[in-house]
Amino acid sequence: MQNSISRSAYNFIIGSCLTWGFMLSWLLAKTIDPMVVINGGWTFLIGYIVAVVVGIGMVHASNNPVISFIGFNIIVIPMGTVLGAAISVVDPAIVHEAVLLTALITGVMMIMATLFPQSCLGLGRALFVALIALIVAHLVVYFMDYEVGSLLSYLGAGLFSLFIAYDWARAQNEPATVDNAIDSAAGLFISIMNLLFNLLDILNSD
């Protein structure tokens, strides 16, 4: 049985993990050559998926905070690398706008989840079905070479905004332990970063 901590300490750990994840992502984005991603093709994509899946597995399969934090970092590294490629082709002003908009949306969705936790928790199944549908849509567009503009990015931004609300409501519904705080931070990090990626695409296309 894990030792419980105070709710304020629990939320502090979530915030600390997120801050660490964003700082590491930005460091990786600024130091790793974006061509690693751009020229990586299927090799990088497969490696990215494997790393994120392994990281998620470590986070959720372990009750050991150390193992969970290692898994969290395994998630952060590939996402930070992709962030570097994403911002390398976008005007710095757009990057700044996307970051601010991401922070604003994240704050609003967390407030909504705090005010209406049960409503946000009830979105879980629908959100995961929508996520699968969005992934399938991306694959169809890619392989069939359809032109849909930024439609999927708008849908993705909306979906991951709702995921942030769900993740925060779920985090506050979990027992307050160090491991659960790290697990919750991982879910929020993935949702926030995906929101940022979609907003970068939307703002860069306008």
Instruction: Express each pLDDT in 25-75 by its tens digit.
Output: 999 999 999 999 989 888 998 999 999 999 999 999 999 999 999 999 999
- Tell me the H-state helices in 89-150: 92-115, 117-121, 124-144
Of 62, 74, 86, nearest in space to 24 by CA: 74
**Alpha-carbon distance 83 to 32, whole Å?**
10
From the CA atom positions of the chain, what is the Rg in Å?
Answer: 17
- Residue 70 structure tokens: 């290692």
Q: What would the two tokens of residue 31 be? A: 């130091």
Residues 133, 134, 138, 140, Cα dihedral to 10° = 20
How far apart CA 204 and CA 131 sit, in angstroms, is 23
% of the chain exceeding 90 in pLDDT: 88
Contacts from 60-66 at CB under 8 Å and sequence distance 24+? 60/183, 62/179, 63/2, 63/179, 64/179, 65/178, 65/179, 65/182
Q: What is the pLDDT of residues 87-127, one digit of tens each?
A: 999 999 999 999 999 999 999 999 999 999 999 999 999 99
Instruction: List the one residue out of 73, 61, 57 whose CA is nearest residue 25.
Output: 73
> Quick one: average pLDDT of 77-82?
96
d(CA 100, CA 81): 20
Q: What is the pTM of this model?
A: 0.95
Rounded to an integer, what distance in angstroms lies between the CA atom of residue 111 and that of residue 105? 10
State the pLDDT at residue 145: 78
Work out the number of other CB atoms within 10 angstroms of the CB of residue 184: 24
Q: How many CB atoms are located within 10 Å of the residue 52 CB?
A: 17
* pLDDT bracket for residue 1 (50, 70, 90): low
Q: Are the C-beta atoms of 61 and 182 separated by less than 8 Å?
A: no
| Nearby residues of 5 by Cβ (< 8 Å), 6 or more positions away | 13, 176, 177, 178, 181
